[in-house]
Amino acid sequence: MTDDAVIDISGLTKSFGHTVALDALDLTVRAGEVHGFLGPNGAGKTTTIRILLGLLRADAGSVRLLGLDPWTDAVAAHARLAYVPGEVTLWPGITGGETIDLLARLRGGVNSARRAEMLERFELDPTVKARAYSKGNRQKVALVAALASDAELFLFDEPTAGLDPLKEAEFQRCVRELVSEGRTVLLSSHMLAEVEALCDRVSIVRNGRTVESGSLVELRHLSTTSITVETVHPTAALASTPGVHELVSDGTHARFAVETAQLDGVLRALADLGVVAMSSSRPTLEDIFLRHYEVDSHSVAGTS
Amino acid sequence: MSGVAVSSDIVTTETAFPRSAGFTSLVRFSLRRERWILPWWLAGMAALMALQSTSSQNFYDSPEKLAQLRSTMSANAALVAMGGPTRLLETIGGEVLFEIFAYLAIVVALMNMFLIGRNTRSDEEAGRTELIRSMRVGRRAPVLAALGIAVLANSVVAVVLTVTSVVTGLAIEGSVLFGLAIAGFGMTVAAATTVAAQMYQNPRGVYAAVSALIAVAYILRAVGDVGNDAVAWASPIGWGQRTYPFVDDRWWPLLLYVVMSAMLVAVAFILAERRDFGAGVFRYRAGRGTASRLLSSPVGLVWRVQRATVFGWCIGVFVLGSAYGSFADSIEQFLADNPELAAYLPDASDAVDSYHSLTLSIIALLAAACGVSCVLRARTEEAAGRAEMILAAPVGRVRWLTGYLVVAMAGSALVLVAGGFGDGLAYGVTIGDPLQAVRLAASALAYVPAVWVIVAATAVVVGVARRAAAVAWLFFGYVAVAVMFADAFDLPEWFDRASPLRYTAQVPLEPFDLGQGLILLAVAAGLSGIAFVGCRRRDLGY
């Protein structure tokens, strides 16, 4: 919708046989932002990325990538993007350095200085054959190949899985540098701290649909604040107050969650009960994610 | 219920033999993994034996014919080198084994090599063994379980071959001995593979080492059969042939298999006790830090990944071609002895060139098999997730698939020339005309268009469907049957109409037909086009 959208997906649908992988998914990534792409396993994140790469064909919906159609203009789009798959499989008899060079040459040429810098920063030995690399080192091969390129858009599918914390921090520094150079990043990740540290905006998908999308500030606003309170009058009356959820009331003690938008009204109601002591905690990003993840597992269990 | 059985098994073996704990469960698990693979090997061996036994008994149905064969064979070193000791030719049962024993030995060897390799080093390299070993499973258990499966498989081999032999009318004692000899050789190879699996970190290293050993065993027995008998005793294949089933029925050489297998297993266990998990005696070597100029394109990558396979095919087909070629000069004599064999040849009046065109057709089939496997590699790469890395770069799908087609076509042409060259070289040496090597290598090129049609047809299957391998090999199998048996078995005239080799002139018997060649090339190009269109339409990369 927005003019500066690097990725613009709406109503994207994809089925494999009877399995619906994507069910009218929406995703907008603006130029120059780091966009977090979150969701439980099997939510459709990798399928979405593969459609963005033109590997899979969408059943329905519209997909624009760098202003192009990813299916018909795949090569033109790929010339401007770099991709790190979630599970990196390499050619067993070919070394990491050779693989990096091959991928760079397919993109038009090796930037030797940048390649050397990235090998250094990720402490990767390029002379090792791929079959002897650990999972983390295979991941580094793909990361170095992507980060050494001059792409406008970076698609990362759980890029730090298997990396040690130091390399994870190095990856975050790299992403910040990319953004400062005006590039765009789509980051699919389960590392919530990483997402919180890097992302300007996030989209959360579940069962092939986008259930929430926005800046982290907006998402916090949409979520709940948890309150523990002790009052003069019995707290049972709170049950009927709009915006109060998960109330556990025990005489003059109570614990509950408040929709952040309704906080003001709930506080007024509390004041009428005569507050003796109160503590409140703002939702962390983890709370927000877990809420969506948990709802998902509930619906799978058939309780919702 | 089975859970109880499994845990009690672990507890009992754990206390008695802690290093073998979990053996029974692992054997059961391996059997489950192998249940779709082993039956094919067994059926293949039974079919080989049944065909040979019935056709031999048809050809040499009288003692006079057998005696005639003995004199022809004894005079032909090349045939003895391919078959076995001429002493076997004294009875019809022995004649059957003279022809088939060495081939069956190679089949059973490959079966055991892959069986052990799959269940030991491949699992270890892939990390599956790590998961297993973290359970209450002893250090020796995975190797022991693999050997247990090999014992079972080879026992079934013995039974299947004995039964096939008896059912096709051969004597019982010799049949049992022959079955056990093949099984014994299989077991020896299985034991040797467990040793190699301790030494090489990479399954390919294991297979290369064991294949080399099998080749050495084959060559030693060939040398021994042609010349000094003592040399053949250095070869485990020679041991089996020297039990002389149906001739002497000598049982004691079977003991050599038992002793050799036991010694090899002991060595494997000593190595296994001393090495770290995942390691071998030979470590991975470091490679280049930067890519050579060659590795800059999809074609370059395919060539890099496939070149060892292509060279392997070239060497194998060259050796086979030489074996065929060394026999070409005797073909007229052989035909005079066995007029029935003329049915296999396109034109018995020019026996030598007729024979050459038959061998070149078979070489063309092998070249096509090399090409088919090269193209199918595209599908393997796709399923493994590696194609995604290439396709996410600015590489179109057509360019990606073209890489496989180009290497498959160039590789199969190379294999053809290598086979024709080997055929001509060996023939040239026997008749003292070295130019035959050039003539037959050039003749082999006449089959290139037909082979490329088969390669391009495989590309169509890869381009259109995801389960390509089975369909591609089915078509290949059909072409193979059409080439080898359409004439001999009087198959209906329409049978080989879909085989591209039907439309190829039988060079050198017939002159090369340029028009036909161009039409076949056009068909190959058209099929490639269909492959590209299909490849552009379907989902890729999983």
Question: Above 50 in pLDDT, residue A1?
Answer: no
Mean pLDDT of B492-505: 87
Give the angle subtended at the CA of A242 by the CAs of A236 and A243, to the nearest 5°: 100
Q: Which residues of B touch A102 (CB under 8 A)?
A: 291, 295-296, 300-301
C-alpha to C-alpha distances, A42 to A46, B388, B392, B426, nearest whole angstrom: 8, 19, 22, 61
Distances (CA, A) of A205 to A21, A44, A298, B524: 11, 7, 15, 46
Percent of chain A residues past pLDDT 70, beyond the cut = 95
Each residue's pLDDT tens digit, B160-170 = 999 999 999 99
Mean pLDDT of chain B: 89
pLDDT value at residue B61: 86
Residue B458 confidence (pLDDT) above 50:
yes
Both tokens of A179, joined, read: 């953004």
What per-residue confidence (pLDDT) applies to B115? Answer: 96
Query: Cβ(B29)–Cβ(B84) under 8 Å?
Result: no
What would the pLDDT profile of B430-450 be if each residue is shown by its tens digit? 899 999 999 999 999 999 999
Banded model confidence at residue B488, pLDDT cuts 50, 70, 90: low
Q: Which phi and psi angles does A11 have, rounded to 5°?
A: 60, 30
Query: With the C-alpha atoms ordered B300, B305, B308, B312, is the resulting torsion angle positive or negative?
Result: negative
Domains, chain A, ranges and CATH? 5-213 (3.40.50.300), 224-282 (3.30.70.260)
Instruction: For residue range A253-303, list pLDDT tens digits in order.
Output: 888 888 877 888 888 888 888 898 998 887 777 777 777 776 545 444 333
Rounded average pLDDT over A226-252? 86
Token digits of residue A185: 């990043």
Which helix (H) or strand (E) covers residue B78, if one does?
Answer: helix B77-82
Of the segments A200-209, A281-290, B72-81, which one has the largest average pLDDT value? A200-209
Cβ atoms of A240 and A256 within 8 Å: the answer is no
Q: What is the mean pLDDT of residues B518-530?
A: 96
Give the sheet arrangement for strand A224-231, strand by strand. Answer: A244-250, A253-259, A224-231, A275-281
Tell me if residue A239 falls in helix, strand or coil: helix
**Choice between A243 and B391, residue whose per-residue pLDDT is larger:** B391
What CA–CA distance (Å, rounded) separates B280 from A14?
A: 46
Probe site for chain B from A50, A106, A128 (most B CB atoms < 10 A) = A106
> Per-residue pLDDT averaged across B253-281, rounded?
91
Q: What is the mean pLDDT of chain A?
A: 88
Q: Mind telling me how many Å the CA of B309 is from chain A's nearest CA?
A: 13
Output the pLDDT for position A263.
85
Residues 6+ apart with CB under 8 A from A160: A139, A167, A168, A171, A189, A191, A194
List the single residue in A74, A78, A127 with the smallest CB-CB distance to B289: A127
Whether pLDDT at B7 is above 50: no
Record: contact B291-A98, CB cut-off 8 A: yes
Chain B residues interacting with chain A (CB cutoff of 8 angstroms): 125, 201-202, 284-292, 295-298, 300-301, 304-305, 384-386, 388-397, 537-542
Whether the Cβ atoms of residue B123 and residue B129 lie closer than 8 Å to each other: yes
Q: Which residues of B touch A129 (CB under 8 A)?
A: 284-287
User: What is the pLDDT averaged over residues B194-215?
Assistant: 91
Q: Which of B389, B398, B466, B467 to mutate to test the interface with A (most CBs of A within 10 A)?
A: B389
Residues A111 and A150 sit within 8 Å (Cβ to Cβ): yes
CA distance A24 to A60: 8
Find the mean pLDDT for residues A59-72.
Answer: 94
- Closest partner CB to A102 (pick from B295, B394, B537): B295
**What residues of A are in contact with residue B300 (Cβ under 8 Å)?**
102
Tell me the percentage of chain B whose pLDDT exceeds 90: 58
B306 CB neighbours in chain A (<8 A) are: none
Q: Using the beta-carbon criterion (under 8 Å), do B393 and A103 form an inter-chain contact?
A: yes
The pLDDT of residue B10: 47
Of B255, B215, B247, the residue nearest B105 (C-alpha): B215
Indicate the pTM of the whole model.
0.80
User: Are residues A56 and B395, on separate chains, in Cβ contact within 8 Å?
Assistant: no
Q: Nearest Cα to B139, choosing from B298, B12, B21, B303?
A: B21
Please list every residue in chain A whose beta carbon sits closer than 8 Å to the beta carbon of residue B286: 95, 127-129
State the ipTM, two decimals. Answer: 0.81
Q: What sections of chain A are H helices per DSSP?
A: 45-52, 74-78, 96-106, 112-121, 135-147, 165-180, 192-198, 216-222, 263-273, 285-301
Mutate which: B121, B207, B290, vs A, most A CBs within 10 A:
B290
Do the Cβ atoms of A55 and B388 come within 8 Å? yes
A125: number of CA atoms within 13 Å, CB side? 10
At A187, which amino acid appears?
L
